[in-house]
Structure 1
Amino acid sequence: MNLIEIKKNRFLYLQKIYEESGGGTNAAFDMTEVGNELGFDYMLTRNIVDYLINEGLIEPYALGGSIKITHWGIKEVEEAIENPSESTEHFAPINTYNINIHSSGEGNIINTGNENIISITTSSNTKQITEKVNEIITVLKTNPNIPIDSRDNAIEVFQELLNEMTNGIKPSPSVIDKMFSYGGSIGSIGSLVVGLIQLFSKQ
């Protein structure tokens, strides 16, 4: 296994915990079960877990192999998703890994390949997306800790996305770029934006 494959597997493992935890630090997982779901054998899982713990991206939670993602692990995944063509502290640009980011729902996927094009697949998916966008807008309007300028600009972007969705228009590249940007810069909506991104799929 070459270094690129090793780092790819480390990211897949960390990203899996991130998704299953909903972007929070409270959920605990059995390290072996996570590896099994990704098709990793025990030794590969053990090596990945040791590395991620040593780097502070996950932490042991209890005896028996329980682990949790850390705040720094969350930041690393969100940084990678927000900027798929840029390196993070521990990983190469994730679009060089040629991987898919899977949601924990009904198989909706974000392809983080070189084109990074997002489109809507089904009317059911569209309904879920509009609900998620409305949820993000509500958080932006009600969270007093978000700076006014950032809040107003973000609301404008997500409202534009909502208008495009309502009118059956494919989200424009500029709106998608801004959506990624606000998802990474406004902490209170970061996990919601990741959830929104996971409802999109590249055709």
Structure 2
Amino acid sequence: MSPVTELVAAMQLKDPYTRGHGDRVGQASALIGAELRLSGDLVAALRLAGTLHDIGKLGVPGALLRKPGPLTAAERRTVQRHPGHGYALVRDTGVPAVARVAVLHHHERLDGAGYPHGLAGRLIPWPARIVAVADALDAMTSTRSYRQARPAAAALAELRRCTGSQFDPCVVAALGRALSRHPWPPPVPQPAGAGAGSLVRRPFG
């Protein structure tokens, strides 16, 4: 078993929600990448990025991950350390740079109000902007202990409302085009790809 596979398996055991969530975020990230006409290697790396994006939650107490109600401010700060934990886990595993930067920066916001580094606009690496949208899509369309799932159309409307402040408009537009041809949630989870890629160019934005 590869180190990456072992990390994913460990995360799935710790937080059952993550079992399908990572796969779906990987698939949504790949759909967006394909819509943006990225190379096959980059699309595969984006799928891996989505699968691994929450791997840093291995460093978060399980009780917080499964807490049914709102988090306290201190608990929220603990959870918000997971991108840094994740980056430390994947940094030396041979995971492509596309996936590594997405793991670290997928909670940044275009307006600079995100974490862990408060990056804004085009300073946020493009893979992270893609995974952020894919992550939000699946979060809104999944049932959790504290709320019911939204229809995909409602989730897309919310993503569009938050473009320019939280999400990259180009990425949200690409997702909208992809969802016009692909059902969401996906009927059959797709396996994570392990393709290679690097931050050698910025394909959009």
Name the TM-score, length of structure 1 as normaliser: 0.28
Greater strand share, structure number: 1
Q: Which has the larger radius of gyration?
A: 1
